[in-house]
């Protein structure tokens, strides 16, 4: 089957949270990560690593921490609990389902980045460090999401792991020098890919100066 064109992929790469347990072939996983590594990074340093978690015990470990964190956030009302517009409620229900069933997805990808941007280390500029570190991993993460979509695999960028990152790093033997920037559950989708809806482009473009929204 022909792969969809780039704009079709971009306009239909939604967060896909309800996934089938069917395994994803290793060659497909390599192709997805390889697409990730075609992304830019500051100074082309490529100080990244991508862990593909398939081991059932490790997936259960991730699920238990993720689900506990989800419930804690909910108890503290950091995740809203009802009275939401229908679209937001649907998203929240799907996110809760993903949290509860995380161990049932075939693969959980962890996108790891060096905690310090080595060329800037001597400058002691935390702001530049943060921008360049995250700016050097999220293009790869987006390439991975797009590659998944192009290959018919559902995926969601998640970040709840940052509440248990130390335990996660210890369990998986991730070096102290690295951080886990994103956790991406992946699997063949139960539903269909659909169009992404976003704010109208006219609302977010500023021509030449802030606030000048007519070209």
* Residues at the contact surface with ligand FMN, assessed by CB under 6 A: 14-15, 17, 91, 95, 98, 156-160, 196
Nearest distance, CB of residue 94 and ligand FMN, angstroms: 7
Nearest distance, CB of residue 212 and ligand FMN, angstroms: 28
Nearest distance, CB of residue 208 and ligand FMN, angstroms: 28
Tell me which residue of 65, 77, 70, 67 sits closest to 164, measured CA to CA.
65
DSSP string, 138-166: HHHHHHHHHHHHHTT-EE--B-GGGGGHH
Nearer to ligand FMN, 203 or 208 (CB): 203
Nearer to ligand FMN, 11 or 30 (CB): 11
Nearest distance, CB of residue 16 and ligand FMN, angstroms: 8
Nearer to ligand FMN, 95 or 178 (CB): 95
Nearer to ligand FMN, 160 or 168 (CB): 160
Nearest distance, CB of residue 189 and ligand FMN, angstroms: 12
Which secondary structure element, helix H or strand E, spans residue 108, and what is its range?
Answer: strand 107-114
Q: In the sheet where 178-187 sits, what is the strand order? A: 48-53, 107-114, 178-187, 154-155
DSSP code of 71? H
Nearer to ligand FMN, 196 or 205 (CB): 196
CB 167 within 8 A of CB 54: no
Q: Report the C-alpha gap between 15 and 119 in whole angstroms.
A: 34
DSSP code of 208? S
The single residue listed with the structure tokens 């704009």 is 7
């Amino acid at each position: 089957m022909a792969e969809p064109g780039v704009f079709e992929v971009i306009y239909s790469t939604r967060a896909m949270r309800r996934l089938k347990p069917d395994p994803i072939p290793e060659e497909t996983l390599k192709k997805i990560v390889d697409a990730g590594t075609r992304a830019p990074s500051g100074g082309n340093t490529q100080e990244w690593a991508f862990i593909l978690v398939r081991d059932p015990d490790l997936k259960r470990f991730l699920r238990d921490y993720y689900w506990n964190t989800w419930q804690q956030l909910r108890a503290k009302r950091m995740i809203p609990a009802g009275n939401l517009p229908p679209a937001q409620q649907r998203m929240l229900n799907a996110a809760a389902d993903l949290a509860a069933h995380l161990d049932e997805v075939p693969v959980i990808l962890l996108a790891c980045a060096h905690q310090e941007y080595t060329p800037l280390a001597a400058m002691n500029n935390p702001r530049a460090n943060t921008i360049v570190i995250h700016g050097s991993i999220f293009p790869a993460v987006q390439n991975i999401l797009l590659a998944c979509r192009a290959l018919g695999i559902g995926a969601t960028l998640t970040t709840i792991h940052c509440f248990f990152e130390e335990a996660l790093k210890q369990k998986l033997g991730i070096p102290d020098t690295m951080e886990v920037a994103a956790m991406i559950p992946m699997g063949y989708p139960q539903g269909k890919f659909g169009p992404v809806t976003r704010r109208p482009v006219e609302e977010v473009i500023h021509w030449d100066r802030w606030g000048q929204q007519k070209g």
